[in-house]
Amino acid sequence: MNNIIYIWENFMPVIHLAALFGILLAVCCYLGFILGEEAIIASKIRNYRYLAFLLFLFALLLRLEAAMRSEGFETDLSCFAAWAERMYTTGASGFYSPEVFTDYPPGYMYVLWLIGGLRRLLDIPYSSPLHLTLLKLPAILCDLACGWLLYREAAGRLSVSQALFLCAAYLYNPVILLNSAVWGQVDSVFTLFLLLMCLALVKGRLLPAYIAFCAGLLLKPQMLIFSPVLLAGIMDQVFLHGFSLRRLGKNLLSALLSLAGTLCLCLPFGMDNVWRQYFSTVESYPYAAVNACNLWGMLGLNWVSQDNTFLGISYRLYGYAFILLIVVMILSVSLRHGDDREKYPFLAAVLILTLFTFSVRMHERYLYPGLILLLLAFIYRPVKAVWFCYGSFSLLHFYNTAYVLFFYEPENYDRKAPLLLLVSAGMLITVFLLHRYAVPEYFSGTVLYIPRAGHISPDDAADPASLNGGSHRCAPRPSGKAPSCTGTDLIWMAVITFV
């Protein structure tokens, strides 16, 4: 208990300062984004490539410094270190064993095999700062890769200066840096493939979307959470628009090839072992919440069995009901905006943020992918409410994650700690604002300005006719009237969701 008090007194000021930096970063990047099209700024910043290089270089150096100085979350890094050694010594065929604790699927084990080999090759002392940094390196590199994808997508649709501000808002977000470089978790690795899936859906390329989804599933079972978004893309691009047996067969073949590739990567581990691993991971942590600041956290139910009841109904069933309602809502919104390919990142963000808030068995880090998805959605539709939600969720997620990283001790855990209850209440309020303002504004075309490729004068931007001449790729348009969602549609969505 004395250790908790000491850490609280010494770390909380640093956490508050980092949170304040995150707020200032969000505000400054937003203002820079708004002013990013102004000629006065554009005229002063000539060499954007040089600035982008410095932006990414400093982000990398900052992460490496933080990784060297932080021991990370001991439980996670100890597991990664031990698994890396086991993969290198026993190989894939002998990795999974009832005698050894493992809760990750095969995908990341290939990465750890490489890390184990590099440690041996370079003769890096086990558990040394350099070894811990090596374990954090894949997540750090995926941070930069996610930032690069954001920058590239934004630079193609907005001004390059705006792309830099958007990229900075992600790369220097304290919670993004905390997750990979300080904690040592690998959420950015599977988030990279989630981002690739959404980008492929926006571009109408289902084969890369299948591949990215399967790759993410190989890395973390949480990729299954986003299967409704992939399903929405399949419904839109295969069944609802230009349906033909040839297109159906082509996509079915693409999906089967992606699945076959996934199975091939699992074969060295033994399919029986892989199936047991997936099912045991999915069934692990049977609690209402696992350090998550959400509805269940606000009720003081962290680490309380999901089989406990309220009004005779278990928390598990309440959670499943929330999941069903959220998935049906996502698919319903997708149907109403069937012609809109820019909806997928936003739907994925709404899905994970809402599920995190209301579903059972949520860990504190499950909200993580929602942040970059909000930024990607903002690139396509610069809506004020979306940026506000990004900043708010970043702040709340930072406090939730930092609390677990620095103050979590099972024997002294206080599930009703004031900070946890306050952050949980903030999460519920922000999710309400997301649905009350961001969702309707995103689909109504209420944007800050017209996204466009390259620089356009304000006069041209104000003239709708100038935007329809074919040279500008992203002129906003009203969503238009989508096909109505009939009772039969809802029944089919419920059946698909249940399956």
* Whole-angstrom Cα Rg for the chain: 23
Residue 472, pLDDT > 50, answer: no
- Which residues are within 8 A (CB) of 254 and not within 5 positions of it... i.e. 6 or more apart? 206, 207, 210
Do strands 289-290 and 362-363 pair parallel, antiparallel, or not at all (unpaired)?
Answer: parallel
Tokens 């903030």 belong to 426
- For residue 449, the model assigns a pLDDT of 57
Instruction: Please determine, for residue 485, whether its predicted confidence score (pLDDT) is greater than 70.
Output: no
Q: In this model, does residue 120 exceed pLDDT 70?
A: yes
Report the alpha-carbon distance of residue 216 to residue 220 in Å, rounded: 6
Residue given tokens 């942040």 in the structure block = 371
What does the pLDDT read at residue 371?
98
Distance (Å, whole) CA 255 – CA 94 = 30
Q: What is the pLDDT of residue 357?
A: 97
Residue 24 has pLDDT above 60, yes or no: yes
Question: Greatest CA span in the chain, whole angstroms?
Answer: 69
Tokens of 414: 């206080």
Answer yes or no: is pLDDT of 15 > 80: yes
- pLDDT tens digits, residue range 34-76? 886 653 344 455 567 888 999 999 999 999 999 999 999 999 9
Residue 224, both tokens? 């299954």
452 pLDDT more than 90: no
Distance CA 376, CA 363 (A): 23
DSSP state letter for 125: P
Mean pLDDT of 403-410: 89
Q: DSSP secondary-structure letter at 96?
A: -
Smallest Cα–Cα separation from 185: which of 356, 67, 45? 67
Q: 252-255 contacts: CB < 8 A, separation 24 or more?
A: 254/206, 254/207, 254/210, 255/210
Top mean-pLDDT range of 268-282, 351-365, 471-485: 351-365
Q: Report the percentage of the chain scoring pLDDT > 70.
A: 85
C-beta of residue 228 within 8 angstroms of C-beta of residue 355: no
- Using 50, 70 and 90 to split pLDDT, how confident is the model at 338? confident
Kindly report which listed range (55-69, 98-112, 128-142, 271-285) carries the lowest average pLDDT score: 271-285
Tokens for 379, please give them: 């690139």
Flag whether pLDDT at 464 surpasses 50. Answer: no
pLDDT of residue 37: 60
What confidence tier does 484 reach under pLDDT thresholds 50, 70, 90? Answer: very low
In 3D space, the residue among 219, 215, 247 whose CA is nearest the CA of residue 234 turns out to be: 247
Q: How far apart are CA 21 and CA 402, in angstroms?
A: 14
Average pLDDT over residues 392-414: 92
Q: Identify the top-confidence range among 15-24, 283-292, 448-457.
A: 15-24
- Burial label, 256 (beta-carbon count in 10 A; 0-12, 13-18, 19+): exposed
List pLDDT tens digits, range 238-292: 999 888 899 999 999 999 999 999 999 999 999 999 998 888 877 788 999 999 9
Return the higher-pLDDT residue of 41 and 126: 126
Is the pTM for the entire model greater than 0.75? yes
88-92, 185-189, 238-242, 462-466: segment of lowest average pLDDT: 462-466
Strands of 200-330, DSSP E:
289-290, 309-310, 313-314
Mean pLDDT taken over the chain? 87
**Given this model, what pLDDT does residue 466 score?**
37
DSSP string across 260-283: HHHHHHHGGG-HHHHHHHHHHHHH
Query: Which range has highest mean pLDDT (11-25, 149-163, 348-362)?
Result: 348-362
Pairing state of beta strands 289-290 and 309-310?
A: unpaired
Residue 379 C-beta-side C-alpha neighbours within 13 Å? 35
- How far is the C-alpha of 161 from the C-alpha of 181, rounded, in Å? 27
Q: What's the confidence (pLDDT) of residue 482?
A: 39
pLDDT at 469: 37
Which band of pLDDT confidence, cut at 50, 70 and 90, is reported for residue 413? confident
Q: Does residue 73 contact residue 183 with C-beta atoms inside 8 Å?
A: yes
